[in-house]
Structures are given as C-alpha cells and as structure tokens.
Structure 1
Amino acid sequence: MSADAPDLPEPDCAPGAAHPRETLRLYGQGRADGDFLGAFATGRLHHGWLITGPRGVGKATLAWRIARFLLSQADPGGLFAAPPPASLDTPPDHPVIRRSIALAEPRLFLLRRGPNEKGTALSADIRVDEVRRLKGFLQLSAVDGGRRVVIVDAADELNVQAANALLKLLEEPPAAVTFLLIAHQPARLLPTIRSRCRELRAATLEPADMAAALAQAGIEVQAPEALAALACGSVGAAMRITNLDGLDLYARLVGLMAAQPRFDRASALAFSDAAAGAANAARFDLVLDLFDLFLTRLARTGVAGAPFPEAAPGEAAAFARLALDASDARRWAELQQELGARARRGRAVNLDPAALVMDMVLHISAAAAA
C-alpha cells in the first residue's frame, strides 16, 4: 500500500465524503459487478481493467470492492475447491477490509497523486516517482504467494513519463497481479494503455439507487428524481448539489427564466448575491455549473422535447415555451458556449461573482425575450 504525506488531503477523496475504500456497499453497478464476476469465474481473469464512466458514479468504490474481493478469495483448484462466488461481496469481518481501510494491506498498492517536491501541497499529476514505487512493490514477492492488486486513481492524472512507465508494467505484468485503472476521461490515456486493459463501464445511477447511496453517506433526499436529473446520475455531483443547496438554486434560476418576458430584477439580484463573497466560492462554482446545465437542458428541449423528469418545478413548461424547435435549440446551444467562455474569462480576472452571475442572467433574459 502506498504511503502519502499525512498532513495533506487524500487526492482521491471528494471533499466532505468518505473515502471510497470506506464505502462497503455499492449501488447501481450491478451490471459491472456481474461482468467482472463472470470473467473471474472463467479462470482467465484479465490482468488490466479500465474502469470508466462519468465522474462520481462510483468507479473508485467499484475498484476497491473488486480489490477486496480478489484479495479475500482462496486460490482455486483441487478436489475440495470452493464453488464459484455468487457476488463480489466480502464478509464484513474479513481482515482484508480492516487492513484496506487502514491502508495497511500489504498486497494492495494505491497509485495516486503524491506530494509536490516541497511537500507543501499535492502534485498536480501522478509523477513517474510514484510509478517507480509501484515497480518496487511489484518486484517483491507476495506475502503469501497469492494475488496482488494495484489501484490507479485516476489514470487520466498520469503525466507523460508516468504513463509510459506504467505502460511497461502493463506490457509485462507479474503473475497474479490485477491492475484496476480508474479513468474519468479514458480518451486522455495512451491508446497503448487502453489496448492492454479490458473496459469495465460504470453506469449513471437511477433515482432510487442514488437516494440509497446518499442515505449510506448520511444524506436524506427529499426529491430523488429531481436530484438525479440535475446530477446526471452522479452520486458525487448529487452530494455537492445537496450540500450547497443546489436544488433550490436551480429552481430559482428556472423561476427567473420562466417569468420571461417579464424580468424580476429584485429576484435576479437576490439570486446573484447567493454566490457573492469569499465564503461562497464553492457555491459560486456550482452556480456557474447550473447555468451550463440549464442551457444544456433547454437546448435539448428544442430537439427532443421537454425534459423528464423535471429538475425543478415548472421546468418542462418553461423550456417548452422557450425552445420550440431545432432553430431555438441551436441558438441556446450557441449561448451556452458564449456564456461558458465569458464565465472562464471572468474567473480568470477575478470578476466579482455577483456581477458575473447577474451578467449571465441578463444575457439569458435578453435571449429569452427575443
């Protein structure tokens, strides 16, 4: 198991959430579970797995689940071999769970971003030094001669030198070693790395699974359908939206636009002030993302019809009125690109968040009035 500077945050853990290694129950990934279990049952398990899917749907939780499963399995064979396992569940009292949570499992290596050269912050990417540590781990014999697992979280954070070093290990893997590469954007990986792995796709979550996953994290959801729509099936996004009152913010944004061609300036100012101030930096980032999502859903309405389920009360009716056809959809899509660029420029020059939000409201309002 790799070791990192104790004073730095864990780079593979979302703020305010439990680390994936501590989450023992996985929701919404039954198909991925079944695909891996089926491969394991054949006795010809691929040495490299590329776990893909949108950010926040449980890819890392799936990787840790697979790692615990592999490390808790007895070697197959013999007259008294156990029957093939029916699931990837690991008994809750198995010592591999305790050791994995404590980052003390000797047969498991976690490859992730480490500290920078000064040790004052996390590195921006996974550097080749981290892969050299992995190489040293692989050169050692397994403690009990059994399986070993390597988790790479996330593979699309490897810099060029680290990616090439990992590729060499994938090309000549040691016996009984399974690589689990988590990738949010697999297209960024070297094609040669992708070609040496079997893809395991993690799906977006349905509302019921998302509500169950959030409940496991101690978050009760009042409107699971709306939250799932707004989070695009991502538990990570849903946690962020819930913690920052995103459902209410999105409903207020829809309400502002639904009133067109009338423009309620007082409501618009109040909405802009919700993202003002240094203490609301995280909420400001969320508001910008909500603008982007609003325009995406609005443009899609002109082509595919009003969204279902709604992410806010009255959304479908407002969108049906603002995006009548493909021509409207194209104009809203163009505005999405324009406002996205304005937001990036505004943030680059530290424009006042409230002023930037108000500017975006005015641009959408002008487009709606037209």
Structure 2
Amino acid sequence: MTEETAPEPDRIPGAPHPRETPTLFGQDRAQADFLQAYTSGRLHSGWLITGPRGVGKATLAWKIATFLLAEPAEDAGGGLFGDAPPAPTSLAVSADHPDARLVQSGAHPRLFVVRRPVDDKTGKLKTEITIDPVRRLKNFFHMSAADGGRRVVIVDAADELNRNAANAILKELEEPPARTTLLLVAHQPSRLLPTIRSRCRELRLSALGSDDMAAALHQAGVEVVETEALATLSSGSVGEAIRLAQHDGLQLYASIISLLEGMPRMDRPAALSLANSCAGKGAELRFDMVLDLMDLFLARAARTGLVGEPHSQGAPHEARLLSRLSPGPHAARRWAELQQELSSRARHGRAVNLDPASLILDMLFRIEETARGTAAA
C-alpha cells in the first residue's frame, strides 16, 4: 500500500474530504480571527484548531493552508508603482489558482500532513500518530526551503500523537523554521501536552445551528428533511449528522423513543425486536449506532432534569418523555449515574465481543429500572 492509496483517517465516508469542501459553514468568527492576525502582521507559527468533532476543524485547517500557500511572499514587492497589494478580506482561494490545484491533488511541495499511519502488518490505520511521520518533517523542511515560499504543516489530529511524536512536534513549535505555520487540529485539546497548548494560538470552532447544518449537509450531498432533529442528535456536528443520515440514525432514535414512551413499563416484544436487530452478521454498524443513541438519550435525560425541557427534539414526543422521566435534579443525577454505568458496560461489551442482543436488552432493562425509580421518587 502506497501513501497515495492509504486510507485517510480524516475522511468521512460518503462526504467530501476536508480539502475538497468548498465552503465552511458556521465558523465565520474563527476565520475572521485568523485573517485579522494575518493582515495585522501577528501571524503565530503555531495554531490550535479546537471544537467538537465534525464541526469543520479539518476543513478550516485546509482552507488556512491553501490561503497561506497561495498568498504572495511578504518580500514579493509592490505593483507597477510600488503599491502594496490590498489586504485579503477572506480565506477563499480560486480553485484555478496553481497552489490550490496542487493542494487538491495532494502534491503541494510546501505542505506536509501529519496523521495516523497505516500498520504494515494489518493494512489498517494505527490507533495513534507515531514518531515516524513526524521525523519526516526534517526532510520536508530541508527540501521545501529550496523555493523560499511559505510552508505549512497540518497535524490531524494532534490529540492522537503518542508521547514521542508529541515531544517531536513540541520541538518544532519551540524552534519553528522560518516562514512556517503549524496547524494542529484537536478534538480533545486537554489531552495535549500543556507546553504544546501554550505554544499555539487557539481557534475554537462551535457547534452548527440548524440552518448552517442544512447548508453543510446539502453541500456534502446529503439531503434530509429533518435537519433540526439531525442538528439536535449530532450536537451540531456535520460529521456526526452525516453518519446518522447514512445509517438510519433518525429512524433508530425515533424507535428508541417510541419504545421508552411506555416507561416505567417497557414493551418487552418491541425491546426484544430492537435488540435482535443489532445481532448477526452485517449488523455491526446498527449495533454501534444503537449504543451511541442510547448513550445520547441518557445524557439528554440528565440534562433535562437540570435545565428543563429541551427546546429541540431528536424525535417526535422526545421532549415530553424527557420531562416526565427527569423532572428535577434528583432524577438528573440518577440518569447521569446510569449513563456512566452503561457507557462503561458498552465499552466492555465491545472489547470482549459480548452478544449484541443480550447487551442491548440488558441496557434497556436498566433504563426501565431507573425509570421506575425516578417515577417513585
């Protein structure tokens, strides 16, 4: 397997790669903050791009990289009469620009991407970024210095760096080569070395609202009617919304809500049917989706007890159900404790390959038991 044919860990199946995404929706503030730093001459060498998974962090990194690579060098001189070119007002670069075409083809000589490598033994992506990809930065800096242009490094995701790789990235941040910008994408910045965080300026991206979600999904070729429900269940993450849309997530969540509407008594045949639908060959994605949606329901139940009925629903009648099952802080605590317990049980079940149907059914019974407790309280 060559580097060109290796799987890309930052690609969402069924959606354009971040470098191919034309428009970044819902993140105008972060784009404006970077552009302001650039035009004011205060461009940091290290940038930490943070926020929930799937809200456009990688897309922003690629847009910034393309912008920096396409911008003329600071010492390129003025125009015919020595006038300086006007300051850029956006990160947009024409798709016909030579640098943009090179970025799109994955062949720009002044761009280097650090990401999880492929395990030669298994042919699958490793679970962390090892030292080898970072070591190749030395050769990149040496070779790309030949034409004197700006260089950009994207690390996606920085919270996947193992300790050796993280220390090597830290060294580059402490002594960055001239005219080099490092863009670190991080889903969980708290996992990074404090010294890495302190060497970077942060651009924090936020969850998308329903209008931006609808626009982003349309751009990705995902057409759905229930954009508000998708935005709710995905917590404003386009990546998660695409996964939900592609794997019947909305219908599954509606089925779970319908099943739980009878709480504190559960429809046993319906529960058994849901559990059995997650077992057997080819049901792995459905099993994972149901586990994630049950975890989401428990989190929403805990939140409802603390802040009241949610303003948006992931399925019909969900808000009413949540208010009934979690009427106050005491119930919220019970649901939060159950979420922690069942989340741990789900991780263990996945690790040891427990029977999916038995695991789902057991979790539903625990939800029923907790519903009885909150109803009696």
Length-normalised TM-score, structure 1: 0.95
CA contact (8 A) 2:144 2:151 kept: no
Match of 2:29 in 1: 31
Match of 1:223 in 2: 226
Q: 1:202-257 deviations in whole A, cap 9, x for unaligned? A: 11111111111111111012111111010001011101111111111111111111
Q: 1:59 aligns with which of 57, 60, 64?
A: 57
Shift of 1:52: 0.5
Match of 2:177 in 1: 174
Q: Aligned partner of 1:314: which letter?
A: H
Return the alpha-carbon distance in structure 2 between the equivalents of residues 282 and 197 of structure 1. 37
Match of 2:313 in 1: 310
Q: 2:278 aligns with which of 275, 278, 281?
A: 275
Match of 1:155 in 2: 158
CA contact (8 A) 1:257 1:368 kept: no
Return the alpha-carbon distance in structure 2 between the equivalents of residues 134 and 96 of structure 1. 20
Count of aligned pairs between the two proteins: 368
CA contact (8 A) 1:5 1:119 kept: no
Q: 2:41 aligns with which of 43, 50, 74?
A: 43
CA contact (8 A) 2:249 2:289 kept: yes
Q: 1:245-301 deviations in whole A, cap 9, x for unaligned? A: 111111111111111234212221222233222312112111111111101101111
Match of 2:212 in 1: 209
Return the alpha-carbon distance in structure 2 between the equivalents of residues 181 and 328 of structure 1. 40
1:285-296 matches, cutoff 5 A: 285-296=288-299
CA contact (8 A) 2:309 2:322 kept: yes
Shift of 1:162: 1.1
Q: 2:188 aligns with which of 176, 185, 189?
A: 185
Return the alpha-carbon distance in structure 2 between the equivalents of residues 141 and 336 of structure 1. 50
Match of 1:91 in 2: 94
Q: Aligned partner of 2:299: which letter?
A: T
Return the alpha-carbon distance in structure 1 between the equivalents of residues 23 and 145 of structure 2. 28
Task: Check 1:153–1:259 CA distance in 2 against 1; reply closer, same or farther (3 A cut).
Answer: same
- Any gaps of 5 or more consecutive residues in structure 1? none
Return the alpha-carbon distance in structure 2 between the equivalents of residues 288 and 317 of structure 1. 22
CA contact (8 A) 1:214 1:220 kept: yes
CA contact (8 A) 1:135 1:169 kept: no
Q: Aligned partner of 2:348: which letter?
A: R
Return the alpha-carbon distance in structure 2 between the equivalents of residues 348 and 132 of structure 1. 32
CA contact (8 A) 1:109 1:149 kept: yes
Return the alpha-carbon distance in structure 2 between the equivalents of residues 156 and 109 of structure 1. 18
What is the Cα-based RMSD across aligned positions, in Å? 1.6
- Any gaps of 5 or more consecutive residues in structure 2? none
Return the alpha-carbon distance in structure 1 between the equivalents of residues 153 and 223 of structure 2. 34
Q: 1:72 aligns with which of 70, 73, 85?
A: 70
Match of 1:246 in 2: 249
Q: Aligned partner of 1:358: which letter?
A: L
Shift of 1:168: 1.1
Shift of 1:369: 2.6
Shift of 1:143: 4.7
Length-normalised TM-score, structure 2: 0.93
Match of 1:102 in 2: 105
Return the alpha-carbon distance in structure 2 between the equivalents of residues 192 and 262 of structure 1. 52
SS at match of 2:155: strand
**Which deviates further from its counterpart, 180-189 or 341-350?**
341-350
Query: Is structure 2 residue 253 aligned with structure 1 residue 255?
Result: no
CA contact (8 A) 1:107 1:143 kept: no
CA contact (8 A) 2:15 2:221 kept: no
